[in-house]
Amino acid sequence: MKIIVGRGKGDSGRCDALALLFIEAELRLDAAGKAADRESGGAVSRLLRDGFEGKRDQVEVIPAGRSSRFGHVVLLGLGKKEKLDAESFRRAGGGLAGALAKRTVKLCRAALLPAEAVPIAVEECARALAEGALLRSYRFTEYKKAENDQGIQTLAIFGGGPKAPAALTRAAVIGEEHAYVRNLINRPARDLAPEDLAAEARASGRRFGFGCRVFTEKDLSRMGYHAILAVGQGSRRPPRLVVLNYAGGPKKQKPLALVGKGVIFDSGGISIKPAQGMEQMKGDMAGAAAVLGIIRSAARLSLRHNLFGVLPLAENLPGGGAQRPGDIIRTGAGVTVEVMSTDAEGRLVLADGIHHAKKLKPRAIVDVATLTGAAFIALGSHAIALMGNDEGLLARITAAGIAAGERTWILPLWEEYEEILKSEVADLKNNSWTREAGTICGGIFLKKFAGDTPWAHLDIAGVDWNEKSHPYLAKGPTAKGMRLLVRMLEEHAD
């Protein structure tokens, strides 16, 4: 789908579909609405009289009549005025793309509400509407052709004000990168060995102008990164550590380091997982994919930041060479870890990933990881579990999450929790079998490796996969964390 800036008021000219936005209990027709009503022989006002109320996520399509200049007319509800925010428009954009997915729509025009009618900036409305439509139009077609290649081809958004062009460019880039990230998460582990994901990173760097260095298993061994190596040693496809480097900020600006868990398949290893649902563990590299997508987006949007992306990549399989419960490994930081469960492998690869990030002397570290099933138990699928050691950083992430429609919720990392991961024989153990505070324990483990560097941890395990359809995210991977962190970078440039 192509997004363009509509010129003029959007109430004239031919199109294949016209979208009209409504606030609940304020069902007024603007000029475009009135014209559409006339063209549809009064069908719009009839719907407003009975049926359509403008409720959040409400979508009604009036199919194109033979004489209509506007083709299909789509009524989109934004919900109550008091609750109106960017997310309302993102959901409406999703509803629009969804409603027209099975029709042929070369050009769809959408007229935003006038600035005085909405509490947020018009360019934000434009951007959110576009983003919702773009995200909703994603399909994973690498192995199965799309049933149809219809839907909206060009979406022209009217009424976004003078800042609309820049806002819509951001929506378009983020929409494309979000699809790229979802393709990586959807891709079966068969076709995404650690080296394949490293190759994606390398090709991305060449294409968009950022550095990419790939450390092989030999390098990892030399550097003492035995945690990544231990997780990968049960697979024939060896681990990698990828370090991306985007230098878009002033020279004197200390970089931000993003670390993404890149377990390309998590069988659990010797502590093997139950069979049912294991196929979803091809998505255990969602954190790494998100970080790659963030760096690509930052480069494409020329964001004024110096960034590192650190991707520890490994495959967790129970092969003959696999690590065992009871093993003690020495991480790159010199901390020894007793492996209680080979299925608590994410914190192992991140231990070395965060340690490597620290060596790059960043101003802060943010990691993104599908770390604990307990995140879903605690928060369901409506919030990313957020933890860290720096209030300011956590506040910036929280705000960006609200703006991006990827909400977070902070969990504590009080030192009392450290007791749970104390080991008799090593500095730390990677799991206790007590079942208490599962997500927090993941955070407690990682905190040790972040040390005194400002650090935040996004556990996306509860939100990484949509089971039900959603206004703008299909069933399947959500790429959560990516849009949030791009947003944070946009809001805190320099």
Dist CA 12 CA 8 (whole Å): 9
Residue 338 contacts ligand BES per CB under 6 A: no
* Interface with ligand BES (CB under 6 A), residue from 431, 443, 447, 463: 431
- Amino acid letter, 219: D
Torsion of Cα atoms, 219 then 225 then 226 then 227, to 10°: -130
Total residues binding Mn ion (CB under 5 A): 3
Stretch that binds Mn ion, among 3-11, 189-197, 264-272, 297-305 (CB under 5 A): 264-272
Q: Which member of 187, 282, 300, 347 is catalytic?
A: 347
* Interface with Mn ion (CB under 5 A), residue from 343, 352, 406, 464: 343
Nearer to ligand BES, 67 or 434 (CB): 434
Q: How far is the CB of 413 from Zn ion (least distance, A)?
A: 20
Nearer to Zn ion, 266 or 352 (CB): 266
Q: What DSSP string runs through 274-326?
A: PSTTGGGGGGTTHHHHHHHHHHHHHHHTT-S-EEEEEEEEEEE---TT---TT
Inter-residue contact 479 to 260 (CB < 8 Å): no
Report the sign of the C-alpha dihedral through residues 187, 469, 127, 151, in that order: positive
Stretch that binds Mn ion, among 12-20, 158-166, 338-346, 389-397 (CB under 5 A): 338-346
Total residues binding ligand BES (CB under 6 A): 14
Under DSSP, the state recorded for 225 is: -
Residue 459 contacts Zn ion per CB under 5 A: no
Annotated active-site residue 254? The verdict is no
Q: Which does 408 bind (CB under 5 to 8 A by kind): Mn ion, ligand BES, Zn ion, none?
A: none
**Binding residues for Zn ion restricted to 207-266, rule: CB under 5 A:** 263, 266
Residue 461 contacts ligand BES per CB under 6 A: yes
Residue 124 contacts Zn ion per CB under 5 A: no
Residue 186 contacts ligand BES per CB under 6 A: no
Cα–Cα nearest to 390, from 446, 310, 452, 481: 452
Q: How far is the CB of 350 from ligand BES (least distance, A)?
A: 10
* Interface with ligand BES (CB under 6 A), residue from 85, 217, 345, 490: 345
Dist CA 321 CA 318 (whole Å): 8
Nearer to Zn ion, 52 or 445 (CB): 445
Residue 266 contacts Mn ion per CB under 5 A: yes
Residue 464 contacts Mn ion per CB under 5 A: no
Nearer to ligand BES, 297 or 372 (CB): 372
Dist CA 14 CA 12 (whole Å): 7
Residue 284 contacts Zn ion per CB under 5 A: yes
Report the sign of the C-alpha dihedral through residues 125, 130, 131, 137, in that order: positive
Dist CA 57 CA 79 (whole Å): 7
**Binding residues for ligand BES restricted to 212-271, rule: CB under 6 A:** 266
Q: Is 390 exposed, middle or buried (0-12, 13-18, 19+ CB in 10 A)?
A: middle
* Interface with ligand BES (CB under 6 A), residue from 86, 244, 299, 344: 344
- Amino acid letter, 100: L
Please list the alpha-helical segments (H only) found in 5-80. Answer: 31-39, 43-49
Residue 39 contacts ligand BES per CB under 6 A: no
Q: Is 136 helix (H, G, I), strand (E, B) or coil?
A: helix
Residue 372 contacts ligand BES per CB under 6 A: yes
Residue 24 contacts Mn ion per CB under 5 A: no
Residue 459 contacts Mn ion per CB under 5 A: no
Cα–Cα nearest to 490, from 310, 482, 93, 408: 482
Q: Is 391 exposed, middle or buried (0-12, 13-18, 19+ CB in 10 A)?
A: exposed
* Interface with ligand BES (CB under 6 A), residue from 319, 321, 326, 373: 373
What are the structure tokens assigned to 193, written together? 């060995």
Q: Is 239 helix (H, G, I), strand (E, B) or coil?
A: coil
Annotated active-site residue 347? The verdict is yes
Show which residues are catalytic. Answer: 273, 347
Contact footprint for ligand BES (CB under 6 A): 266, 284, 341, 343-346, 370, 372-374, 431, 461, 464
Contact footprint for Zn ion (CB under 5 A): 263, 266, 284, 346
